[in-house]
Amino acid sequence: MTIGKTARMAALAIVILFVLFEVTFPFDVAPARDIEIPDPAVEAEYLSCYQEKDREMHGIAFGTIDNPDVQKEFISTNREHIARECRLAVPEQLITVEEPSRFNLVDLKPRFW
Protein backbone atom coordinates (compact mmCIF):
# COMPACT_ATOMS: atom_id res chain seq x y z
CA MET A 1 0.00 0.00 0.00
CA THR A 2 2.80 2.47 0.78
CA ILE A 3 4.56 1.72 -2.51
CA GLY A 4 1.45 2.62 -4.50
CA LYS A 5 0.95 5.79 -2.48
CA THR A 6 4.61 6.76 -2.97
CA ALA A 7 4.35 6.11 -6.72
CA ARG A 8 1.21 8.28 -6.98
CA MET A 9 2.89 11.10 -5.04
CA ALA A 10 6.00 10.91 -7.26
CA ALA A 11 3.83 10.97 -10.42
CA LEU A 12 1.89 13.96 -9.08
CA ALA A 13 5.16 15.77 -8.30
CA ILE A 14 6.45 15.11 -11.83
CA VAL A 15 3.21 16.39 -13.40
CA ILE A 16 3.33 19.54 -11.25
CA LEU A 17 6.98 20.05 -12.23
CA PHE A 18 6.15 19.86 -15.95
CA VAL A 19 3.13 22.17 -15.54
CA LEU A 20 4.97 24.88 -13.58
CA PHE A 21 8.30 24.69 -15.42
CA GLU A 22 9.47 24.39 -19.00
CA VAL A 23 11.76 21.37 -18.77
CA THR A 24 14.49 20.73 -21.36
CA PHE A 25 17.13 18.03 -21.45
CA PRO A 26 20.24 19.60 -23.09
CA PHE A 27 22.65 16.78 -22.06
CA ASP A 28 25.61 19.16 -21.98
CA VAL A 29 28.45 17.10 -20.56
CA ALA A 30 32.10 17.84 -21.33
CA PRO A 31 35.40 17.37 -19.52
CA ALA A 32 37.77 20.23 -18.77
CA ARG A 33 40.03 21.06 -21.70
CA ASP A 34 42.46 23.68 -22.97
CA ILE A 35 41.20 25.96 -25.76
CA GLU A 36 42.81 28.76 -27.72
CA ILE A 37 41.04 32.12 -27.84
CA PRO A 38 42.08 35.54 -29.16
CA ASP A 39 43.95 37.60 -26.56
CA PRO A 40 41.42 40.14 -25.16
CA ALA A 41 44.07 42.87 -24.77
CA VAL A 42 45.16 42.56 -28.41
CA GLU A 43 41.53 42.47 -29.59
CA ALA A 44 40.79 45.63 -27.57
CA GLU A 45 43.75 47.34 -29.26
CA TYR A 46 42.47 46.18 -32.67
CA LEU A 47 38.97 47.48 -31.87
CA SER A 48 40.41 50.81 -30.77
CA CYS A 49 42.36 51.10 -34.04
CA TYR A 50 39.26 50.19 -36.06
CA GLN A 51 37.02 52.66 -34.25
CA GLU A 52 39.53 55.51 -34.64
CA LYS A 53 39.96 54.91 -38.38
CA ASP A 54 36.20 54.41 -38.81
CA ARG A 55 35.53 57.75 -37.12
CA GLU A 56 38.05 59.45 -39.43
CA MET A 57 36.51 57.79 -42.48
CA HIS A 58 32.99 58.91 -41.47
CA GLY A 59 34.28 62.46 -41.04
CA ILE A 60 35.68 62.37 -44.56
CA ALA A 61 32.51 60.80 -45.99
CA PHE A 62 30.07 63.24 -44.42
CA GLY A 63 32.36 66.25 -44.79
CA THR A 64 33.17 65.91 -48.48
CA ILE A 65 30.43 63.78 -50.11
CA ASP A 66 26.92 65.20 -50.55
CA ASN A 67 25.17 62.21 -52.14
CA PRO A 68 23.85 59.70 -49.52
CA ASP A 69 24.20 56.75 -51.91
CA VAL A 70 27.84 57.60 -52.58
CA GLN A 71 28.43 58.06 -48.84
CA LYS A 72 27.00 54.60 -48.16
CA GLU A 73 29.16 53.00 -50.86
CA PHE A 74 32.26 54.86 -49.67
CA ILE A 75 31.70 53.74 -46.07
CA SER A 76 30.97 50.09 -46.87
CA THR A 77 33.97 49.85 -49.19
CA ASN A 78 36.36 51.48 -46.75
CA ARG A 79 35.24 49.42 -43.73
CA GLU A 80 36.79 46.29 -45.24
CA HIS A 81 39.98 48.22 -46.01
CA ILE A 82 40.14 49.61 -42.48
CA ALA A 83 39.61 46.15 -40.95
CA ARG A 84 42.47 44.69 -43.03
CA GLU A 85 44.74 47.64 -42.26
CA CYS A 86 44.14 47.41 -38.50
CA ARG A 87 44.58 43.61 -38.52
CA LEU A 88 47.96 44.05 -40.21
CA ALA A 89 48.94 46.66 -37.62
CA VAL A 90 47.63 44.57 -34.71
CA PRO A 91 47.91 40.86 -35.62
CA GLU A 92 45.70 38.36 -33.83
CA GLN A 93 47.38 36.49 -30.98
CA LEU A 94 45.92 33.35 -29.46
CA ILE A 95 46.18 32.45 -25.80
CA THR A 96 45.45 29.12 -24.17
CA VAL A 97 42.84 29.01 -21.41
CA GLU A 98 41.35 26.10 -19.54
CA GLU A 99 37.64 25.63 -20.16
CA PRO A 100 36.03 24.14 -17.05
CA SER A 101 34.11 20.90 -17.20
CA ARG A 102 30.35 21.04 -17.80
CA PHE A 103 27.64 18.77 -16.45
CA ASN A 104 24.10 19.90 -17.29
CA LEU A 105 21.41 17.32 -17.80
CA VAL A 106 18.19 19.27 -17.09
CA ASP A 107 17.19 22.93 -17.49
CA LEU A 108 14.15 24.32 -15.69
CA LYS A 109 12.59 27.60 -16.80
CA PRO A 110 9.55 28.95 -14.91
CA ARG A 111 6.46 29.22 -17.08
CA PHE A 112 4.33 31.70 -15.14
CA TRP A 113 6.74 34.05 -13.32
Mean pLDDT of 44-64: 94
Report how far residue 95's alpha carbon sits from residue 36's, in angstroms, rounded to the nearest whole number. 5
- Whether residue 15 is predicted with pLDDT greater than 90 in this model: the reply is yes
- Whether residue 1 is predicted with pLDDT greater than 60 in this model: the reply is no
Averaged pLDDT of the chain: 93
Query: What pTM was estimated for this model as a whole?
Result: 0.64
Residue percentage of the chain with pLDDT more than 70: 99
